[in-house]
Chains A and B, each alone.
Chain A
Amino acid sequence: MELLIKILHNYYYMVAILLFIIGMHTMLTHSNLIKKVIAMNIMDTSVFLLFVAIGYTYGGEAPIVREGSEVLYVNPLPGSLMLTGIVVAVSITAYALSLIVKIYRYYGTVDYDEICLIRSQE
């Protein structure tokens, strides 16, 4: 019971970990290359969510300093780090997609099992 309450209190961590596992599982087991790339994005996004959740403060405001106001604000660091993380994820995705286009040109399929079949017949 105590564990359940703990989990309910920290549900955003649980969601992030769940998404991470879904992403990782799909990435490693599905044979469709496009699905692998989508799963990679799900995995990355789950970590971004976790980071942003860490930085959030209940009732906090945007961390912009105004004259003479001492308000509670959310931690800006995880947000800005995850912006960088998103940029990195975008570039990896773009590269992976362009590789898939090229793979399609050479093999005529985006299914990894079929690619393995073609390669084994060579």
Chain B
Amino acid sequence: MTLEDQIVRITSRLVVPFIQVYGIYIILHGHLSPGGGFSGGAIFGSSLVLVALSFNLEVGAKQISHDTSSILESGGALGFILTGLVAVVLGGNFLSNQAAGFPMGEAGELFSAGAIFIITTFLGIKVASTIITLFYNIIEEEDKSGASH
């Protein structure tokens, strides 16, 4: 291990938790401020990509296994659709929010805006796991083809 490796590793080890917290913050405040499921999920996902890049693929894969990430990926999308269906069951149109009786809460509070909050959370999960899966799929395919990286 060279000195450069160590610098990169220690820095990324320091930075990654903050990136993740920031990603979660963006996801959870999707209904209050700019950002939301996609941006936050991309930030969260790229933190795990950073781990894999600065250490190696095995350490990265230890953080979240391929199975988990692909299950989360399907689960996030399914959660979105289920939220829409819950609205139908509650008597509104597909994906309706206040009309179906989701609790609105106080505007500006964290737990407000009913279905939007739930949907952004699912979206964040989906996007984060998609970014990770995409990264690993491309990297591993490249490994098989014997290209250098």
Touch test A–B (CB under 8 Å):
yes
Tell me whether A101 and B38 are in contact (CB under 8 A): no
Chain A residue at minimal CB-CB distance from B144: A105
Please report the number of residue pairs spanning A and B whose Cβ atoms sit closer than 8 angstroms.
Answer: 22
CB distance from B95 to the nearest CB of A (A): 15
Judged by DSSP, the binding face of B is helix
Assess whether A102 is interfacial by the CB under 8 Å rule: yes
Assess whether A97 is interfacial by the CB under 8 Å rule: yes
CB distance from B50 to the nearest CB of A (A): 18
Q: Mark A75-109, 1 if CB is under 8 A from B, else 0.
A: 00000000100010000001001100110110000
Residues on the B chain within 8 Å of A62, using CB: 34
Query: In the complex, what distance in Å separates the CA atom of A68 from the CA atom of B141?
Result: 56
Interface size on A, residues (CB 8 A): 10
Assess whether B14 is interfacial by the CB under 8 Å rule: no
| Complex interface residues of chain B between 111 and 149 (CB less than 8 A to chain A) | 134, 137-138, 141-142, 144-145, 147
Judged by DSSP, the binding face of A is helix
CB distance from A48 to the nearest CB of B (A): 14
CB distance from B76 to the nearest CB of A (A): 14
Q: Which residues of B contact A (CB under 8 A)?
A: 34, 38, 134, 137-138, 141-142, 144-145, 147
